[in-house]
Structure 1
Amino acid sequence: MWDRLSFVVRHFRERLWVKPLIVCVLSIGAVFLANLVDMAELGRLLPKITQESIETLLKIMASSMLMMATFAVASMVAAYASASSAATPRSFPLMIADDVSQNALSVFVGAFIYSVVALVALMNGFYVGRGSQFILFSLTIVVFVIIIITFIRWVDNIARLGRLGHTITKVEQAAAKAIRKRHSAPRLGGVAAFSPPDGSRAVFGAIGYVQHVDTAALQKRAEASRLRIVVAALPGTFCAPNRPIAWVMREEPGNVSDEDAEATAAAFVIGDSRVFEQDPRFGLLVLSEIASRALSPAVNDPGTAICVTGTFVRLFVMWNERGEADDDSTVLFDRVAVPELSMADMFDDAFTGIARDGAGNVEVVVRLLKALDSLAVVGDAAMRDNALRHARLAVVRAENAMQIPDDLRVIREVARFAA
């Protein structure tokens, strides 16, 4: 339950309207709560504030905040468009979820709503006591201070939002977070996967990508009905009518009920696109797309591909180190079997695009081979085997794409570790 709730909360973070709505409700509540001071008869202890001074401040705020909110939206849209065109459209959700931009938009819209509601209440005699007028004045000053601080932080952030380097950093952070989450529960908390025996019931889902698997819900259903469940579709898998998402089997003789099959399918969140949270491979794939776009003839930016290659080294070293630290991790859901991520698939997601599109660029190939050499040394057996495999493929692609003997000599020299 908590796993599904956290997924829903993070999903709502990507909606631009959520934070502004919350701030608007809080601002309206603050306007009306200010009048409670008069009821407590505390006004005689507070200094007197003229209504004209409060009215002037609120009018300034009301006339400027709507313009600031409009400017913020326009700047954010321009940054999102830049991220989608310069990097990849798959990075768009990370730009939307940027906290600084969302907070700035929320503050500007909330301040506008606050000023309008407070101004209407003030002009209609809602604040007649000394206490309520002082509290309203103090709230207005506090709102002004928040606006100034938010604007300064937002200007510093919007200057980087949507830039290619910033986008790469955002994607790397999302991929690293998914890797840490996966290694805290290597098989999503389940046991090692096994081949389902004959008689197991195949469970199918909607057509789309698996975004989230609620293994806690699967465990609860399995305990209640004495079942064993094998997850067949990890987050990031594309589900089709001929591809089951899970296999369900009973511990006792008999068939799996339709109710159990429906409950199993309900534990899988399936959507139109992949998400980063439970899918470390998606982060690698998005970074590879950024590098491939940079290597296209229209862009011709090998430096970005080299930067992404270094990012891959950091992510795979993180995967290897945390894997070593979590070998003795406990199983949380003993009735749910989940397959582990394939190292071969992860390497294919990361390095195939760069090796293919950068095969004719000696600088990119050399840096790619050096990165694979590093991973072959620091990684486990599976990582070493895949690093050597991709190094050999990179050399073959370079030999087919390059014609200058000196470039090929340099590449073969760097690739001696894979011989």
Structure 2
Amino acid sequence: MSHRLMTLAQSLRQRLWARPLAACLLSIVAVALAAALDGSWRLEDPPEVSAESIESLLSIMASSMLVIAIFAAGAMVAAYASASNTASPRSFPLVLEDDVSQNAYSMFVAAFIFGVVGLVALQNGSFGTVGRFALFLETVAVFALVILTFVRWVDRIARLGRLSNTVDRAEEAALAAIRERRQDPRLGGAPVTGLADHASEVSANDVGYVCRVDLATLDDCAEAHGLLLEVVAVPGCFVATGDVLLRVQAGPTDLDPGVPARLRHAFHLDRARQFGGDPRFGLVVLSEIAGRALSPAVNDPGTAIDVIGRLVRVFDLWCRTLPASPTAVPRYPRVQVPEISAEALVEDAFTAIVRDGAGSIEVMCRLFKALAAIASFGDESLARCARHQARDALRLAEARLPLPAQVQRIRDLARFATS
């Protein structure tokens, strides 16, 4: 249930209607609360606030907030389009989840609804002396929140959609996913030791990316039927109809016909990859941003160099983060889950950059320095993959760099991989 709630919350963060709807409901409740205080809040000498003064304030709010909300929506859409065009289309969900912009848009819409509802209630005599005073206080508070929100939002919208902001968000998403996976490398499952040769397979009946695997459901089903499971399709994998999701080793009795459907239901597929729970996707998006910057149409090697530095930071976090409890008993002992390989991480991060930047001396110099740094972090498997990637990059650079002096410079930087 907790996994489903987390998935729902993540989905609502990417829906622009969710927060405005909640804010509108709160604004209606605020007006109703002011009316309800007439019968419950006793003041000996309540301040007298004229209905005309409150009506003027609410009229200003109702007439201006809708215009500002429309302006905010237009600015946000322009920022989203800029992020997709200048960075990578896969970075769009990161920009869409910007809390400041969504909160600002919600505040503007909620202030408009508050003004309209309060104005209607006021003109129909729904408030007494105490209610008008409470409505006045709420109106002043809403005005103050709108002003503070607008000032903060203007500062954010000036950066939202810019390439540097999008790269920052992609790096943050990659770091968060890497940290989470390193602390729990098998998602709570047991290490893969292999199943018997007669183990059966559960295949996918749809096409998409695995975005989440409910290991609690798998473990409960395995315990109830005496099974041992090995997950094959981890989050981030693309599966087609008939592809294997997991392998099942049954006990002495035959497998219940309804069990495969229940096991298959634990794999949640989506049309696109998601950053949460998929560390490799963050690396792919960063690599795509660098690849776009190296395209002839853009010709921005500085962005590629910046991304390479960020990738080094991601791998540094990978090496420095250790599992929360290395000797702890797995939460789901009947489910074996493979760990992410260092080879896959290095390929996702650098293959596209090597391909697109092999003819750029400044990019290749920074790339070899980055790979040398990764090889020195102390993770032997990661170091081996970094050296292999450097050898591939050296062969491409030797074929594409125009000057012998540049080739020799690259060979000097690549000695850590060839010695």
**One fold, TM greater than 0.5?**
yes
Counterpart of 1:110 in 2: which secondary structure?
helix
Letter of the 2:82 counterpart? S
Letter of the 1:281 counterpart? R
Change (3 A) 1:329 1:305: farther
Task: Could you tell me which runs of 5 or more consecutive residues in structure 1 were left unpaired when the two chains were aligned.
Answer: none
Q: Give 2:350's aligned residue.
A: 351
Q: Give 1:290's aligned residue.
A: 289
Change (3 A) 1:324 1:254: closer
Q: Give 1:47's aligned residue.
A: 47
Taking the aligned partners of 1:372 and 1:40, their CA distance within structure 2 comes to 69
1:115-126 equivalence runs, <5 A: 115-126=115-126
Letter of the 1:65 counterpart? M
C-alpha displacement of 1:324:
6.9
CA-to-aligned-CA distance 1:338-397 (integer Å, 9 cap, x gap): 001011111000000111100000000000000000011113110110010011111101
Q: 2:183 touches 2:324 (CA, 8 Å); kept in 1?
A: no
- Tell me whether 1:60 sits opposite 2:60 in the alignment: yes
1:254-269 equivalence runs, <5 A: 254-269=253-268
- Tell me whether 1:111 sits opposite 2:111 in the alignment: yes
Larger displacement relative to structure 2 (175-184 or 281-290): 175-184
Taking the aligned partners of 1:255 and 1:325, their CA distance within structure 2 comes to 38
Q: 1:203 touches 1:244 (CA, 8 Å); kept in 2?
A: yes
Q: Give 1:12's aligned residue.
A: 12
Q: 1:190 touches 1:338 (CA, 8 Å); kept in 2?
A: yes
C-alpha displacement of 1:261:
1.2
Q: Give 2:70's aligned residue.
A: 70
C-alpha displacement of 1:193:
1.7
Q: Give 2:213's aligned residue.
A: 213
1:124-273 equivalence runs, <5 A: 124-127=124-127, 129-205=128-204, 206-250=206-250, 252-273=251-272
Query: So what's the TM-score if we normalise by structure 1?
Result: 0.97
- Tell me whether 1:410 sits opposite 2:409 in the alignment: yes
Q: 2:210 touches 2:233 (CA, 8 Å); kept in 1?
A: yes
Q: Give 1:35's aligned residue.
A: 35
Taking the aligned partners of 2:365 and 2:21, their CA distance within structure 1 comes to 51
Percentage of identical aligned residues:
49
Taking the aligned partners of 1:94 and 1:47, their CA distance within structure 2 comes to 48
Counterpart of 1:81 in 2: which secondary structure?
helix
Change (3 A) 1:101 1:41: closer
C-alpha displacement of 1:199:
3.3
Letter of the 2:61 counterpart? M
Q: 1:37 touches 1:43 (CA, 8 Å); kept in 2?
A: no
C-alpha displacement of 1:226:
2.1
Letter of the 1:91 counterpart? S
C-alpha displacement of 1:198:
3.2
C-alpha displacement of 1:229:
1.5
Letter of the 2:211 counterpart? Q
Task: Could you tell me which runs of 5 or more consecutive residues in structure 2 were left unpaired when the two chains were aligned.
Answer: none
Counterpart of 1:297 in 2: which secondary structure?
coil
Taking the aligned partners of 1:408 and 1:326, their CA distance within structure 2 comes to 47
C-alpha displacement of 1:180:
1.5
C-alpha displacement of 1:305:
0.5
Q: 1:317 touches 1:379 (CA, 8 Å); kept in 2?
A: no
1:307-346 equivalence runs, <5 A: 307-323=306-322, 327-346=326-345
Taking the aligned partners of 1:353 and 1:345, their CA distance within structure 2 comes to 13
Aligned residues between the structures:
417
Letter of the 1:371 counterpart? A
Counterpart of 2:258 in 1: which secondary structure?
helix
Q: What is the RMSD of the two structures over their aligned residues, measured on CA atoms?
A: 1.3
Q: Which stretches of structure 1, 4 residues or more, deviate above 3 A after TM superposition? A: 323-330
